[in-house]
Structure 1
Amino acid sequence: MEFCPTCGNMLQYELPNMGRPSRFFCPTCPYVCYIENRIKIKRRQRLVRKEIEAVISHDDMQNAPTVEIPCPRCNHDKAAFAEFQTRSADEPATIFFMCLNDKCKHTWRQD
């Protein structure tokens, strides 16, 4: 949607007619904006993938309390957990778990 810079009304679109290019025009004032048919890309910019930062690290879980819950990967029966409010206040908190098996160290969450 485009709006008139003069009066603020929503501009209407008009198709090309009799050699005149397509345009946006204001129905209440004389403002007109002609639209170019050709669009040129002036600059290309490569998108860079950002590094994902962990919400909770393994160091944070070393001193966390433990609970008896099976690991979904290795079925070890103990895991450390931490609870964080990752959404709005009226939503329940997210619980992050880390398997205490030295070979596994799998992390998962329960929303």
Structure 2
Amino acid sequence: MHFCPSCSNLLLVETGAGQNGETCLVCQTCPYMYPITKAFISRTILKRKEVDDVLGGNEAWKNVDTVETLCEKCGHERAYFMQIQLRSADEPMTLFYRCCNSSCNHNWKEN
């Protein structure tokens, strides 16, 4: 981003704005123009925001109860479960399951 040296507003790129039809950096509030004479590339790699685990990560599954249900991934017959309110209070809670098989740990929710 480039800013105007006289009024500090953001400069915009406009093609054909110069005296000879060249591309310029133009200020929207004052008459400042800066002709672009050579190509320039500017790249900024943004850092991705860390996303919190909705289910609370592995710590949230330590003290939960188990129930007899079939894991759709490995076929194990027991799974941990917890209820979480995802929608408004007048909607029912959502049931989340995690397979008790430590090599699987597949997560799913009740349909």
Q: In the TM superposition, what is the alpha-carbon distance from 1:54 to its structure 2 partner?
A: 0.8
Give the aligned residue type for 2:53.
Answer: A
CA RMSD after TM alignment: 2.8
Q: Which residue number in structure 2 is paired with residue 79 of structure 1? A: 79
Q: How many pairs were matched up? A: 75
Cα deviations by residue, 1:28-72 (Å, 9 ceiling, x for unpaired): xxxxxxxxxx49699x86543222211222222122111111111
Q: Write the distance in 1 (CA, Å) between the matches of 2:91 and 2:44.
A: 38
Cα deviations by residue, 1:66-106 (Å, 9 ceiling, x for unpaired): 11111111010100000010111121211111100011111
Unpaired runs of at least 5, structure 2: 1-13, 16-24, 28-42
Relative distance call for 1:45 and 1:69 in structure 2 (3 A) is same
1:49 aligns with 2:48: yes
Q: Write the distance in 2 (CA, Å) between the matches of 1:75 and 1:41.
A: 65
Q: Write the distance in 2 (CA, Å) between the matches of 1:104 and 1:41.
A: 59
Q: Write the distance in 1 (CA, Å) between the matches of 2:79 and 2:26.
A: 53
Runs of 4+ more than 4 Å apart: 38-42, 44-47
SS at the partner of 1:108?
strand
Q: Provide TM-score, normalisation by structure 2.
A: 0.55
Give the aligned residue type for 1:107.
Answer: N
